[in-house]
Amino acid sequence: MDAHTRFYPRVGATWVLTLCETALIALVPLFIGFAIDGLLAGQSAALFQLAGVMAALIMVSVIRRIYDTRVFGTVRVEVGRTQAMRASAQPVSILNARLGMGRELVDFLEVEVPLVITAVVQIIISVALLYAFDATLAQAAGCTVVVILTIYGFFHKHFFRLNGVFNRQTERQVSILEAHSAPHILTHLLRLRRMEVRISDAESALYGSIFAILLGLVVFNLWYATTHVAVTPGTIFVIVSYSWEFVEAAVTFPMALQSWSRLSEIIQRLNTSVA
């Protein structure tokens, strides 16, 4: 289900603000490293530069959050109105469920897409700065991304299928409640719980595998930096910080992709009439 084109500029503006915020966040560890080396050398200029970056970060972050709430609140209203008109001939149970699904789609645009933008910027900056210290550090990070995306590829169809079953059951909820049958309500709730457990188990297996790989990257980069690279205390901090920042950014990808697996099923469902 496509958002109305008049919202594109406003939504795009939120993502531009997200890019600015992310770039500032990504620069903080670098300036902290500069400040450490500067203070150890008796100089305070880098410390004031760090304060300037953080002040700019606070300002952009506050503006983005104030703006986001208003833009996406309006989008939710429009998506709900459009879905109500499109599904006006469908049973109330299905319409109710799909209104919730439409809001979930807008939540993805408001929350998950900025997280992906943040992750991409952080990964690019992290890999570039690691490469500046030693190419091996950047190569290890790049290989890690490839492995993560490969692992997720094996889970996508499984997530899509599980969410399809969950959404079909959700569409029946209002009609089941209207029947006022305690056994049927209990069966419905147990089915929802069973699907939630299966989805959670799949997520746990995915994230456990990815975390293990990413933590291995941090350990390798710390070991390699201290044994193969000529570094200062500030440089060690920067390498470890950007290795960990890479980990945090890389974890966002499977989380966002898992959400997209669910939303791709929702989009297909919202654009399909009920027989």
Q: Tokens 């030693």 appear where?
A: 134
With a CB cutoff of 8 Å and minimum separation 6, the contacts of 106 are 3, 72, 75, 76, 79
Asked whether 249 and 126 are in contact (CB, 8 A), the reply is yes
Name the fold adopted by 5-270.
Answer: ABC transporter transmembrane region fold (1.20.1560)
Q: What is the pLDDT along the chain (275 residues), one digit of tens a residue?
A: 444 566 678 777 887 888 888 788 878 877 887 888 888 888 888 888 888 888 998 898 888 888 887 887 787 777 777 766 766 666 676 666 767 777 777 777 777 777 777 777 778 888 887 888 888 888 888 888 888 888 887 887 888 888 888 878 887 877 887 777 888 888 888 888 888 888 888 888 888 888 888 888 888 888 887 787 766 777 777 777 777 778 777 777 667 777 777 777 777 766 665 44
| 133 C-beta neighbours (distance < 10 Å), count | 20
C-alpha neighbours within 13 Å on the C-beta side of residue 275: 0
- pTM for this predicted structure: 0.59
| 220 C-beta neighbours (distance < 10 Å), count | 16
Task: Kindly tell me the number of DSSP H helices and DSSP E strands found in the chain.
Answer: 8, 0
Residue 57 C-alpha from the chain's centroid: 20
**Residue 16 tokens, joined:** 């531009």
Domain map (residue ranges) of the chain: 5-270
